[in-house]
Every structure is written in C-alpha cells, then in structure tokens.
Structure 1
C-alpha cells in the first residue's frame, strides 16, 4: 500500500465519518418528525443527535482510523536509559508483594529502580515491602506517616528521582514481563516531541463475576481502541496512573501530579497544553483489579467523569490550540450530553419499545448495528494481534460479552452523568476506588 501521512489519514477519517453523519441526518428526518409530535422539536433533536447522530460519527471515525492504523513494530535499541518506577500504595497489603515481584521480573535491559511510596497505610503494606528490601537492591521504600492522597505520594517520590524516565504503576497491578521494555521502546521510537506514553491496561480478576467479565471487554475493545487512534493522531488523552511513562523533566515543568480526583487525566492534558505529544504502547501490558461490585464500579466511573470536568477546568487554553489532539478534546465535550441523552432518553425508550412505542428506540437505532459490528470486529482484530505479539491468549468470555452489550451502558451512563453533575456543583470529593 502507498504510504499515507498522519495528516492525510486524519483528513480521510474525518471526511468519511462526516459523510456518514450527513447521511444519518438525512435518513433520520422522518424519525425527528415523529418524535417531535410526542415531545418538542428541541428534545427530539437533542435525543436523536446524541443517541444516534454523534455516536454514529464517532463509531465511523474509530472504524476508519483503525483500518488506516498500520504502525510499525518498535525496534530493539542498543541502549535503554535508567527508569524509576513509582508505586503509590495505601492499604495494599493484599497485592503489593505481587506487584513488586512482577516489576522485579521485568526483562528491561537498562537500569531499573522501584520506589514504593507507602501513603500512611493503616495495614502492614510497609512491613511487607521492608521484607523484600534485602532481596532486591534496586527496591526502595518511602514510608509516609500520614495519608495525604495519591498525587502527594507520587510527587514525594518524584522529588527523589534522578532517572530521565518515570513510570507510575498502581499498587494492585501485575506488569507483563516485557511491559517496561515495550513502554520505554515506544517512547524512544515515537516522535521527538513525545513526553509521555500510556501503557495498555487489562483486567486481572475478570473471572470473578458478570461485572468483571463485562469490564474485560470494555478494556480489551473500547479503551484499547480509543487510546490507539488517539496515539495515531498525535495525542493520547489519558496517560493513566495505573501504568504510564513520563519524562521526569516534563513532570517538573508542569508541576507534577495535581491534587485532584482525576490526577492522571489533568496531568496528561497539562502535558498536551505545554505543546508536547502523548503516545500509547499497546503491547506494554499491565493487569489490574477492576471493581467487582456495582457500588465500587459506579464510584470509579463517577470519579473518571469528575476527572474529565476537572481537566476542562484546569486546562481551558487547550481547546484553543490548533493541533490534531485538540480534536479529541472537543470530542470529549460531547460525552456529558451523550451520557445524559442515553440516561434520560434511550433507557426510557427501551421501556417504551417493549410496549410497542418506537418513538426513541426503533428501526433507526437498529440501523446503527451494522457499523457497530464492523467497528467492534476491527477493535477485536487489533487487540488480538497485540495479544499474539506478546504471547497472550484471548479467552472465551461469552457471558461478559453479553453483559457488556446489553447491560453495561445502562449502568455506566447514569453513573457518568452523576459524576459530571457532582463536579460542576463542587460536591465533596472522595477517592472511592481507582
């Protein structure tokens, strides 16, 4: 195939998805007229726009971008720079040893240091790390006596770093054997203005129940694909704290981790606002424990939604920049409206459809299924190729796929809406869950 530049890939992707959107608008005119009779023209336009038209544009964009994404493999380098891994831990006695040992088993060919920051844990997290110190000379413990939050713990660790690269790992993550090498390799191979690289997060406890099984598909398909195409167009929007690499000098330049509930997204947007690029290493894999009950899951997604609003509050100038990553920033401004339309329109529309009233959920919404199927097929093929590369196997998870398809959004979208509202009203912030 002839070489297509990133800019032309972006133009082609926007053009095709815009054409799909215009076709969707034309086809939805009868739907709009019918729904207007039962509501108002504004409500009809709002619901159709944010339930079908905008999501259809986004699905088409993702599908075309994935089809055009032909990234080369990262080469091996003769020299790998020194790296410091920061692990902020609060009451992580159950998982901290596994996390540390997974880091010590890395195949990274350069100098690797691991610093665990015990953030005033009330359990024996610090004691467990102390028992590992004699076994691993490159392991360090920073024992903070008072719990002051994840951002403070990471900033305390950053103050002691001298390595050019800093990697953050959540205290309940298990890092695949070549995860750090692949993360650093992507940073070295990416364009020179890259200052952070997000790893790939997968679910470690996916066999636990229907909710964890559903989240496995969310991470494997949706989150992985979004990060991939954002990286393709020069700006991954979240270098998540669970497993990401940052240039130490850039962290100092932007002031380190902010004291927010969404410290990772705010930090990433600050890096983007400073004019830098954020990449994504799809083969740098970390396995994390996801929420295994509805209360924890809802709190997590509320926190993520609050983090998005925090990022808009703290980096408003980013919206005015003329760069490809800014396209995704504007894209994110639509999420609250889509989640609201889904919560107050689509979910009630399902109930109405059960009684034979197809005003909201009907033939036009079913017309979105073919493009959704194609998009998810591309997502699956890209993620499976990554699994094949690193020696992992995609397991059968039919219950999770069914739950992800039919139930997941009914819980997810209302939780996100409450998160947006909580942040806009400045309600009390709690960590809840990671």
Structure 2
C-alpha cells in the first residue's frame, strides 16, 4: 500500500505542475489582428516536400500584419519536383525568393545546414527570422503575432508550439506526448528566467528568433551536427546570454507531422536517443514513466479481487495521470477524449520507440530523408 500511495502522490504532484504550467505560465500570443513594423524573413527549408508544401506556401503568402515580410525558400536537393511546386504557387509574387541549396559538408546534418543557408542568404535587413517547416500551416496573423510575443517576452528565441493534427491510432497515442512531456516536467517560468542551457525546450516546426541574438549564439552553425537542432539552438541562445520562451501556438499554426505509422516510427526513432542522451539516463527516465503511468492500471486490475483497497488507490493514480493528459490537450488545442484514457499505452509505445532508437543508433542504421543522422 505504501508504494501505491507514493505513486498517487507523485502523479498528483506532476499533474498539478501540468495544470500550473498550462494555466499560469504558458504564453498565449494574440492570434490577431496585430501588426509589426520591423522587417521579418520567413525561412522555409524543403527536401522532397512536393506533395504537402502547397498549403504551407499559400498560408505564408496570405500573412497579414507584416508589411516588411520576405519569404525565402530553400530547395535542399529535392528529387520530386518540390521547386516546381514552389514556383507554381508563388507565381510572380516579389516577396518570395527560391534558393537552391548545396549538399551539407562534413560535420553537418541536413536540416541545420539548410536553415543556416537560409539565415545567411536572406535579406540582411530583416531583424527577425521565422523558421517554418513544410508541414506547418499558419493562420493569417501568425507571423505578426509570434513576432509581437517574441518582443513582449524580451527573448532572443520564441517557440510557438503548433497544434498537432492527429488522425490514426498511432498519431493519437504518440503525438500528444510532445506537449504533455514539457508541460509536465519542464518548469516554464524557471526556463525563461534561468540562464541554464539544460532548462531549454523548443520545437523546430515554427521557431521565431531575433536575428542579432541568433547570430550571437552562432546560429545553426553552432548546432551543425545535432539531430535535435531546435532544442540545441535554444541552449546555444542561453549560453550566449539570450532568453528563450515557449508559447502555445495552437491558434497560430497547425502541423501534421507524419502521414503514416512508418513515418512516425522512424521520425521518433531518429531523434529519441538525442533527447535522452546517455542510455542509462534514458533507461532511468523510461522506467520512471512506466512506474508512474503504466503500473497503476495494471495494479488496479491485478489486485482488484484480492486487495480492493490497494486496487482503488492504484486506480486513483491512473486517473490522475489521465487528468494530466486532459489538461495538456486542452491547453494546446489537442484531442482529450477518449485518447487520454490510453495514456499508459502511450508511455509503453514511447518506451519501445526509445529502445529502438538506441538499438539502431548503436548499429549506425539511423537515417532520415536518405541521409545518415548518427
């Protein structure tokens, strides 16, 4: 009974932390209408995105409230006609420039190199750089709202986390963990105030940076070989003396990250080893997550016939974990019901993906978009 009560206390504390983060400390930019006067460059790296880049491009071209907007697109060695799609959508719009990327040199991974090319080849007069991924669709005032929030936070880097679109079972099990993890385990107020690089989070789908602060941190050149270049860039900003901030971007952007289970599986596999670091640390974190969120329903069911009181306490721990997922979903525009009820299964899938990530990395078999990542 003592161990189960300890689980209840621990899960209750974490769920309370999720609620405090979501209701008090999570920034929520005004979705508009809002206007900024400083010049902004939106930077879009593309590699084989012909089948899904059009909605992203049309949303960028429809941005309002940014009179000094420039859109710079980099075709990073695509072989599927991505550049042709960009030209067809952009037409003769003078705000959009299409660049042809060069292959990354030794020591560089593909995305950091593409982002660095964009940052160094865009209009030097732009005081803010907004990096956007091809699977992100922005609302009309998203860029203006994000820049406004960047300045209000007095930050060098703002990560307005998009609303993650989910469709299939795998999506609904895994994708909500992205927001849940940082809302549950990351103290948002301390992250903004503390200079410690270890207290950092960011999502590369939509990332807005003060150009001077970005360059002072070394830009993407400082994270050239990092799989999680977004988080590492946030850490580099902190090391250079800049502030970072997270925001709920559900009203600014929507993102459908993966179209299928194989894509989702391989996407997480390529990066989870980098998220956790040393295998021992990963094992410890996954074990704690399994104990806190997967063990309670198993105990509740297994001990119901013989120890109903212990079973009831374990059920409370499970329901508290579900409550944390509900809070996270509602705070970030996600789907709460009935998906949150499967939270223990989500944690198991995360554990398996983590194990797979370390296994394939050890055998040097991790790739993404045809390029090795480790």
CA distance in 2, matches of 1:400, 1:429: 30
Alignment map for 1:181-192 (pairs within 5 Å):
181-191=144-154
Shift of residue 370, structure 1, vs aligned partner: 5.1
2:115 to 154, 169, 175: 154
The verdict on how the C-alpha distance between 1:133 and 1:351 changes in structure 2, with shifts beyond 3 A counting, is closer
Offset from partner CA, 1:19-65 (integer Å, 9 cap, x none)? xxxxxxxx735x59xxxxxxxxxxxxxxx7xx766555433322344
Distance 1:250 1:95 in 2: 32
SS in structure 2 of the partner of residue 367 of structure 1 = helix
Shift in alpha-carbon separation, 1:286–1:72, aligned structure 2, 3 A? closer
**4+ aligned runs moved over 6 Å, structure 1:** 70-73, 75-78, 348-353
Query: What is aligned with 1:28?
Result: 2
- Matched residues in 1 for 2:297 and 2:312: separation? 12
**CA distance in structure 2 between the aligned counterparts of 1:77 and 1:104, rounded to whole angstroms:** 17
What residue number does 1:81 align with?
38
Measure, in 2, the Cα distance between the counterparts of 1:431 and 1:275.
Answer: 32
Partner of 1:100: 57
Residue in 2 that maps onto 1:3: none
How far is the alpha carbon of 1:252 from its aligned partner? 2.0
Residue 270 (structure 2) pairs with residue 273 (structure 1): no
**Counterpart for residue 297 of structure 1:** 264
Match of 2:227 among 248, 256, 261: 261
Quick one: distance in 2 between partners of 1:158 and 1:84?
9
User: Any stretches of 5+ residues in structure 1 without a counterpart?
Assistant: 1-26, 33-47, 314-332, 385-393
* Partner in structure 2 of residue 339 of structure 1: 286
Q: CA deviation at 1:268?
A: 1.1
- Aligned mates of 1:281, 1:431 — CA distance in 2: 28
TM (normalized to structure 2)?
0.77
Contact kept in structure 2, 1:212 and 1:290, CA below 8 Å:
no
Aligned counterpart, 1:306: 273
| Consecutive unaligned residues in structure 2, runs of 5 or more | 194-198
5 Å matches for 1:218-257? Answer: 218=177, 222=180, 225=183, 230=188, 233-234=191-192, 237-257=200-220
Distance in 1 between the 2:139 and 2:227 partners? 27
Separation (CA, whole Å) in 1 of partners of 2:243 and 2:363: 31
CA 1:79–1:123 in structure 2 vs 1: closer, same or farther (change >3 Å)?
closer
1:277 Cα shift?
1.4
Structure 2 counterpart of 1:58: 14
Deviations 1:260-300 (A, max 9, x none): 21111111111122232111232452222233443332322
TM-superposition CA deviations, 1:344-387 (whole Å, max 9, x none): 9976886687665999x955432324544554554455446xxx
Question: CA–CA distance in 1 between the matches of 2:181 and 2:294?
Answer: 23
Higher-helix-fraction structure: 1
Asked if the contact 1:261–1:307 (Cα under 8 Å) also holds between the matched residues in 2, the reply is: yes
* Counterpart check, 1:177 vs 2:140: yes
Secondary structure of 2:192's match?
coil
Higher mean alpha-carbon deviation, 122-131 vs 336-345, is at 336-345
The correspondence of residues 121-140 of structure 1 with structure 2, limited to 5 A, is 121-140=78-97
Instruction: Judge conservation of contact 1:198–1:281 (CA < 8 Å) in 2.
Output: yes
Tell me which of 405, 409, 420 is aligned to 2:347.
409
- The alignment covers a number of residue pairs equal to 352
- CA root-mean-square deviation: 4.0
SS of 2:208 mapped into structure 1: strand
Deviations 1:78-129 (A, max 9, x none): 7531111111111000112221111011113331111111110111001221
Deviations 1:178-234 (A, max 9, x none): 21111001011113xx10001121234x34x22234456546x62684599625751
Cα distance between partner residues in 1 of 2:283 and 2:240 = 26
| Secondary structure of 2:204 counterpart | coil
